[in-house]
Structure 1
Amino acid sequence: MTANNPPRGGVVNDERAQWAWEKVGEAYRQDVKVQKRYSSLVRRLPSMLQTSGLGQTMAFLFSQSKFGESNVGDQAEGSRLLYRHLAERFGVVGDNDGRGRAMDKITNMSPQDYRLESRKLQAVAEWLKRFGEGRLQTEE
C-alpha cells in the first residue's frame, strides 16, 4: 500500500464520510431542538440497523416523521430530516411529502439488494454517528 494506491475501499469510505459530513452539516444548520433529535437518532442508528434491520428502521423513522400532519414539532422534523437523508442514500430523492417512496423501494427490493443496501447504510450510519456526536447539540 503506497500513497498512490489507497487501501481497497478507501475511496468508497471517503465518499461515505464526505456524504455523512454534508448531511450532519445540514442538521447543524437546523434549530437546536431539531439538532438534538437528529443527534439522538444518529447515535442510535447503527444499533437500530443492526438489531431491527433496514426496513424496520426506516419504518420507525417514517412513522416518527408524521408526514400526514402539517404542523409538526421539532421531534418530527429531526426524524424527517434523517429519514430523507437515508432515503437519498439509496436513490430516493425528495421523499419528504409523505408518499413513502423510500418504503416502496425497500419493500420491493430483492433479498440480495436488501442485504447490500443494509450493509452500505450500516457503514454510513457509523459516519453519521461519529460526526453527529462531534458536531451537533445533544439531548441532556
Structure 2
Amino acid sequence: MKKTVQRVGIENGRAAFAFQEVKRAKEQLRENFETYRSYVKKMPSLIQVNGLGQTLAFYFQKKKQNEYKVIYHTLAQWMKEQFPDQFSSGNEELVEVVVHLSSAEYRLWTMEAVALLDWMRKFADGMAKDDGGTAE
C-alpha cells in the first residue's frame, strides 16, 4: 500500500519524501541504521568525485547489502516520480536510465539526487540523535 504525501513546492515535497524514506529505513534496518546513515552522508561526495552514473553503478553493484539497496531504491523511486517520462516501461533500473541521459538531463538529475540526499542526511542525523547516536 503506497502512501501519498501532499507536496507543497519542490523542497517541501523532497523533504517530506526524504523524511518518510529515512524513517522507513530506520525501521527496516534497525541496528544497521548507522551504516545506512554513513552511506547516505558519503554519497554526495562520491557523486561529485565520480559522477552520478558511476556512483549509482557502485550502489547497484552493492545492492546485496541492505543499506545500499535501500538508498538506491529511494533514489530510484524519487527519480521515477520526478521524471516519469524517462521510465517508459516502468521496469528500467535507475542506473540504466541515467547512462542514457543527455548531458543537460544528466546535470539536472545529478542536482536532484544531491538535493534529495541532503534532506536524507539531515533526517538520518536527526533520527540517529533520537537514539543517542553520534550525529555530527
Fold-level match, TM-score > 0.5? yes
Kindly indicate whether the alpha-carbon contact (under 8 Å) linking 2:29 and 2:67 is maintained by their aligned counterparts in 1.
no
Q: What is residue 18 of structure 2 aligned with on the other side?
A: 20
Percent identity of paired positions between Structure 1 and Structure 2:
28
> Which has the greater radius of gyration?
1
Kindly indicate whether the alpha-carbon contact (under 8 Å) linking 1:46 and 1:122 is maintained by their aligned counterparts in 2.
yes
Kindly indicate whether the alpha-carbon contact (under 8 Å) linking 1:59 and 1:103 is maintained by their aligned counterparts in 2.
yes
Q: What is residue 78 of structure 2 aligned with on the other side?
A: 89
Cα distance, 1:100 vs structure 2:
6.6
- RCO comparison, higher one (Cα < 8 Å, 6+): 1
Kindly indicate whether the alpha-carbon contact (under 8 Å) linking 1:58 and 1:83 is maintained by their aligned counterparts in 2.
yes
Moved segments of 4+, more than 3 Å = 136-139
Q: Distance in 2 between matches of 1:100 and 1:82?
A: 17
Cα distance, 1:33 vs structure 2:
3.4
Structure 1, unaligned stretches of length 5 or more? 1-9, 67-75, 94-98
Superposition RMSD in Å: 2.4
Q: What is residue 103 of structure 2 aligned with on the other side?
A: 111
Could you state the TM-score of these two structures normalised by the residue count of structure 1? 0.73
* Number of equivalenced pairs: 116
More helix by share: 2
Instruction: Kindly provide the amino acid, as one letter, of the partner of residue 17 in structure 1.
Output: A
Instruction: Kindly provide the amino acid, as one letter, of the partner of residue 66 in structure 2.
Output: E
